[in-house]
Chain A
Amino acid sequence: MMAGGVREASDGGKTARFKALALPYLDDAYTLARYLLRNTSDADDAVQECYLRAFRHFDSFRGGPMKPWLLAILRNACHATHAGTARLVYGADAASDDHQRAPMWSEDGSTPEQAMMRRADTDTMRRLIGELPAEFKEVIVLREINDLSYRDIATVIEAPIGTVMSRLARGRKLLRDAWIAAEGEGATR
């Protein structure tokens, strides 16, 4: 315990700098991992591995935006998790356990019915994103949820911007079709 201060001082503030830069994106990393892996314990492991790797390679981080750098490492960690456990079926295990974890709190002015509708919609949307083929899912999550620019998405998935654009267009079409189909089912229920 007493060694803590000494060690922290001896790394020249590296840990503190890393924490300040990288920890704000923990939710982004976790969100991406949850969509890519679907299995919560795999996602936990991938995010932890991502942060440890990122810290090990922090010396090679040459400024620039931290978020795409970190999410690129996370994506590799997710792929490694897949390879290790052979649970490679992207989008399988789609049943989400999130309805239990979603916060009970709802926005001002909404009735409980509206809040419930919205939560059902959110659950559906999460499930449908999870069911997308991996190459479309990752660009959708990076764009719509992680809020990255096309250039940053290209960095993360190591592909040209043209690929990002065509996958995003195709991914949105797949997702929107699935959403409309799901809404139709909901209406007839």
Chain B
Amino acid sequence: MNCDEASILLHALIDGELDAGHSREVEAHIAGCANCATQFQEFQAFRNTMSSSDLRHPTPPNLRARIEGKLPGSDVTVSRRSVFKGFVLGATVSALAASGVLVVVLRGDNERRVLGEVVSAHLRSLQGQHLTDVLSTDQHTVKPWFNGRVDVAPPVVDLTAQGFTLLGGRLDYIDANPVAVIVYRRRAHIINLFCASSLGATERSATMESLQGFNVRRWTENGLNLWAVSDVGADELAEFGSKFEAMLRQ
């Protein structure tokens, strides 16, 4: 292998894209070539610099709402928008309130606020020494711990085989109510799964939102409200959610 080839392939090595045979070839070249070895180290360091900065652009909420509103079957979002229009025009507000549309808006705001609280609780759990109250990778230890502490029986499932390690459980407070939190780990990332009774809320399919750089997957299941919060990518959090749901149905 010459330096021209190595200068391209060392990036594939950094990215973990080479098979074992090619990896060995590039590593052998780097071992014998000071110039390519320096490049390899420098680009590796640069990659770390990049991955430690937050280079993503979060979607503005109004764009998200606009897109969801333009997909079929999204009439709630559309009517929410028309309410705001009503406010701007300074007219028909009371009529809308009477028709119950305003309730939808307020409930949306409430969900937004709860979402903020869930993310704050996630942050607190990472900052302090209080990630878990019960530290166990055994679901049969974690689940009974919640008995008598919260008004729900949180679903604790073992997802180790799926790449999500159970770390334990914790009691937390959202909206001044005690909630059960099940803590998972994905590589170096913590996933907090908040469970609260849904108080008669209708079953909803999963939604993915992002707040302050954290992804939140929210869904309802068996009369429970669930929020999974983490700094892993949306796709991995979606994977966590679907694996979790699949395990529950087994």
Contact = CB atoms under 8 A, between A and B. Distances in A.
A103 B212 CA distance: 6
A125 B48 CA distance: 13
B171 interface: no
Interface stretch (B52-60, B134-142, B175-183): B52-60
Contacts of B66: 48
B154 to A, nearest CB: 23
B50 A144 contact: yes
Contact of A108 (B58, B126, B217, B234): B126
A7 B57 contact: no
Given A122-B54, A165-B8, A24 B237 contact: yes
A51 interface: yes
Interface in B39-68: 42-43, 46-47, 49-51, 53-60, 63-64, 66-68
Contacts of A11: 72-73
Given A7-B73, A26-B67, A165-B11, A129 B208 contact: no
Tell me the interface secondary structure of chain B in the complex: helix
Contacts of B10: 169
B206 A20 contact: yes
Contacts of A98: 57
B109 interface: no
Chain B contact residues (Cβ within 8 angstroms of A): what range?
35 or more
Contact of A27 (B8, B9, B58, B79): B58
Given A26-B67, A30-B63, A31-B56, A169 B72 contact: no
B53 to A, nearest CB: 4
Nearest to A145: B55
Contact of A172 (B17, B43, B55): B43
A109 to B, nearest CB: 8
A124 to B, nearest CB: 9
Interface in A106-157: 108-109, 118, 121-122, 125-126, 129, 143-145, 147, 149-150
Interface string B183-210: 0000000000000000000000111101
Contacts of B68: 19, 23
A176 B59 contact: no
Contacts of B208: 23-24, 26
A8 interface: yes
A184 B212 CA distance: 31
B75 interface: yes
Contacts of B238: 20, 24
A176 B237 contact: no
Nearest to A35: B57
A84 interface: no
B235 interface: yes
A30 B58 contact: yes
24 contacts: A1-B79, A4-B74, A4-B75, A8-B72, A15-B73, A19-B207, A20-B205, A20-B238, A24-B237, A24-B238, A26-B67, A26-B208, A27-B234, A30-B57, A35-B57, A43-B57, A51-B70, A103-B213, A105-B213, A108-B123, A108-B127, A121-B53, A168-B15, A172-B43
- Pairs of residues from A and B, 7 with the lowest C-beta to C-beta distance, nearest first: A8-B73, A4-B75, A24-B234, A108-B127, A24-B208, A30-B59, A34-B57
